[in-house]
């Protein structure tokens, strides 16, 4: 039972648009030799989102797609729009403003690359070995979600005291014990360290015989600062091959043999819940793992759910088994009780699974 949709009237959403986005634009100006056209377009976009009306250009190449995804928000004030819808559209417009759809240059690539080249990365992954146990690999993938560059824009230090507010890890293990090997789909979130950790978990699932194959769903274009594209999977896999444990080489071989495959779809950048997903998105073979905060918002619906709403109920529109691995960075939550103010700090984490 949902109470109401999260809109830009929420204090948290307001902070994202009024603090995080301007800071992100400042960093983009610093990272790229943008000329007056790009700078003016980015500044105009931020101004429009603060006190303007949502516009869609007549000649936008994806106009029909956005009209199909519109739910009556184009032409209305940004300040009244649902948070998820507005945030997704903001990133679409940002990419247009910097010419991404003409040049293919990922505006966030400098940040993603810096993370993979970070001098501390090799030391941080010093624990990697060939024979990881299930819990270590699962938790690596979960806590990899802390490494979200967009979140860090306002969160500052990631020195948080994470605690699991829901822990269905035993169900996940039992599912694999009862049904493995099964196809496993990752609906990926961030590139960089999170994706490295997801690849490590994927390798563990393949090598332990729990997964028969791995499908990695990426974003079709750069999104929410650090979300993973096909290009980022290649970059991370190359970086992983330099780290201990051999996961990078094994996954490279798995890709060559067709046991690890990449997929993408325009709907992965849609401003809508997975409840509205088209059939050809092709989720639902074996077990599907939804990574991160944004995918959680899209999985359960970006709403203030009534206390007592279960994860099971919120994802009942899906036929198959699903797992959510998420650090809480927004207000949406089902199946656990956490003070609303505590839900946006990145200090809490969850592992949730349905019983299909």
Instruction: State both tokens at 184.
Output: 């496993």
Choice between 92 and 329, CB closer to ligand F1X: 329
348 binds ligand F1X (CB under 6 A): no
294 binds ligand F1X, rule: CB under 6 A: yes
List of residues 6+ apart from 46 with CB closer than 8 A: 21, 22, 25
Whether the CA torsion 63, 65, 70, 73 is positive or negative: it is negative
Least distance from C-beta 269 to ligand F1X, angstroms?
13
SS3 127: coil
**Cα–Cα separations (whole angstroms), residue 80 to 12, 76, 86, 215, 329:** 14, 7, 9, 37, 21
Using CB under 6 A as the binding rule, whether residue 189 contacts ligand F1X is answered as yes
Site for ligand F1X, residues 17 to 76, rule: CB under 6 A: none
Residues in the chain: 356
Q: Which of 263, 247, 282 is nearest to 141 (CA)?
A: 247
Residues 148 and 253: their CA atoms lie apart, in Å, by: 28
- Pick between residue 14 and residue 241 the one whose CB is nearest to ligand F1X: 14
CB of 355 to ligand F1X, least distance (A): 25
Does 329 bind ligand F1X (CB under 6 A)? Our answer is yes
Closer to ligand F1X by CB, 16 or 182: give it.
16
The reply on whether position 197 binds ligand F1X by CB under 6 A is no
Is residue 115 part of the contact set for ligand F1X (CB under 6 A)? Answer: no
Nearer to ligand F1X among residue 224 and residue 274 (C-beta): 224
Which of 190, 207, 229, 264 binds ligand F1X (CB under 6 A)? It is 190
**Strand (E) or helix (H) holding 187:** strand 182-187
- Mask: binding to ligand F1X, 128-147, rule CB under 6 A, as x and -? -----------------x--
Q: By CB under 6 A, is residue 292 in contact with ligand F1X?
A: yes
Tell me which of 6, 8, 16, 98 binds ligand F1X, using CB under 6 A: 16
Q: Of 224, 290, 305, 311, which one interacts with ligand F1X (CB under 6 A)?
A: 224
| Chain residue at closest Cβ approach to ligand F1X | 329
Site for ligand F1X in 145-164 (CB under 6 A): 145, 148, 150-151
| 112 HSE (CA, 13 A, CB side) | 27
Residue 217: partners with Cβ closer than 8 Å, 6 or more residues away:
185, 186, 187, 188, 262, 263, 264, 265, 268, 283
Q: Which is nearer to ligand F1X, 207 or 330 (CB)?
A: 330
Shortest separation between residue 207's beta carbon and ligand F1X, angstroms: 27
> DSSP letter at 16?
I
Site of tokens 């700090």: 345
Tokens 């940040």, residue? Answer: 111
User: CB 257 → ligand F1X: shortest distance, Å?
Assistant: 31
Nearer to ligand F1X, 79 or 190 (CB): 190
**What DSSP assignment string belongs to 323-341?**
EEEEE--SS---SS---GG
The values of phi and psi at residue 214, to 5°, are -120, 130
At 287 the three-state DSSP class reads strand
Out of 192, 272, 293, 335, which residue is the one contacting ligand F1X (CB under 6 A)?
A: 293
| Residue 155 CB, nearest approach to ligand F1X (Å) | 8
Binding positions for ligand F1X, rule: CB under 6 A: 16, 87, 145, 148, 150-151, 189-190, 224, 292-294, 297, 329-330
């Amino acid at each position: 039972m949902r109470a109401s949709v999260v809109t830009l009237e929420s204090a948290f959403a307001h902070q994202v648009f009024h603090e995080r986005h301007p800071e992100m634009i400042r960093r983009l100006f610093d990272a790229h030799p943008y000329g007056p056209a790009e700078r003016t377009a980015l500044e105009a976009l931020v101004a429009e989102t603060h006190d303007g009306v949502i516009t869609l250009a007549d000649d936008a190449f994806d106009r029909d797609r956005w009209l199909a995804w519109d739910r009556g928000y184009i032409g209305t004030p940004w300040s009244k729009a649902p948070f998820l819808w507005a945030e997704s559209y903001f990133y679409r417009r940002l990419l247009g403003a910097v010419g991404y759809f003409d040049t293919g240059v990922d505006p966030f690539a400098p940040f993603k690359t810096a993370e993979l080249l970070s001098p501390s990365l090799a030391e941080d992954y010093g624990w990697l070995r060939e024979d990881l146990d299930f819990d270590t690999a699962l938790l690596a993938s979960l806590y990899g979600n802390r490494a979200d560059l967009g979140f860090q824009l306002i969160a500052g230090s990631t020195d948080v005291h994470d605690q699991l507010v829901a822990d269905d890890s035993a169900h996940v293990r039992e599912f694999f014990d009862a049904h493995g090997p099964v196809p496993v789909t990752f609906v990926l979130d961030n590139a960089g360290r999170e994706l490295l950790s997801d690849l490590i978990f994927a390798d563990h699932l393949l090598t332990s015989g729990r997964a028969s194959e791995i499908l990695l769903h990426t974003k079709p274009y750069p999104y929410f600062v650090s979300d993973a594209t096909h290009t980022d999977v290649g970059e991370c896999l190359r970086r992983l091959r330099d780290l201990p444990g051999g996961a990078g080489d094994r996954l490279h071989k798995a890709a060559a043999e067709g046991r690890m495959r990449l997929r993408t779809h325009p709907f992965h950048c849609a401003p809508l819940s997975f409840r509205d997903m088209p059939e050809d998105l092709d989720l639902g073979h074996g077990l599907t793992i939804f990574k991160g905060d944004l995918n959680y918002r899209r999985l359960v619906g970006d709403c203030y759910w009534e206390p007592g709403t279960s994860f099971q109920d919120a994802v009942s529109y899906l036929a198959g088994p699903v797992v959510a691995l998420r650090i809480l960075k927004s207000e949406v939550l089902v199946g656990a009780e956490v003070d609303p103010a505590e839900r946006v700090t990145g200090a809490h984490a969850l592992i949730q699974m349905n019983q299909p």
